[in-house]
Amino acid sequence: MANAGVDIGAPIERYDWRKAKLQFDVNTLANYVLFCVFLPRFLERGHGHVTATISLGGLVGTPYEHAYNGSKAAMRMLMDGLRAETRGRGVGFTSVFPATCRGA
């Protein structure tokens, strides 16, 4: 289960690119490191399952969340690419797209 994630939203006028780097490092790269370690083992034994928490931010751009959305969209593409590359080799993939619901 690839579930590493951090969200640091802010208006672009006040945004520090280093926060975006942190979000990509955690939300995308840290999860990719897990894939590089475990996926070859799954393929070697011919079965396994990879699940990744993506977020609706990987599907829809929202204000103040540009870096978060970009990092989650990158995660979605990683999962899609790995799924396509390993099709028919006994490894399943599930991308989860939860949303935050804020009450009134």
pLDDT at position 89 over 80: yes
pTM of the model: 0.89
pLDDT of residue 4: 87
**Proportion of the chain in helix, strand, coil states, percent, rounded to 5:** 55, 10, 35
List pLDDT tens digits, range 56-83: 999 999 999 999 999 999 999 999 999 9
List pLDDT tens digits, range 19-61: 999 999 999 999 999 999 999 999 999 999 999 999 999 999 9
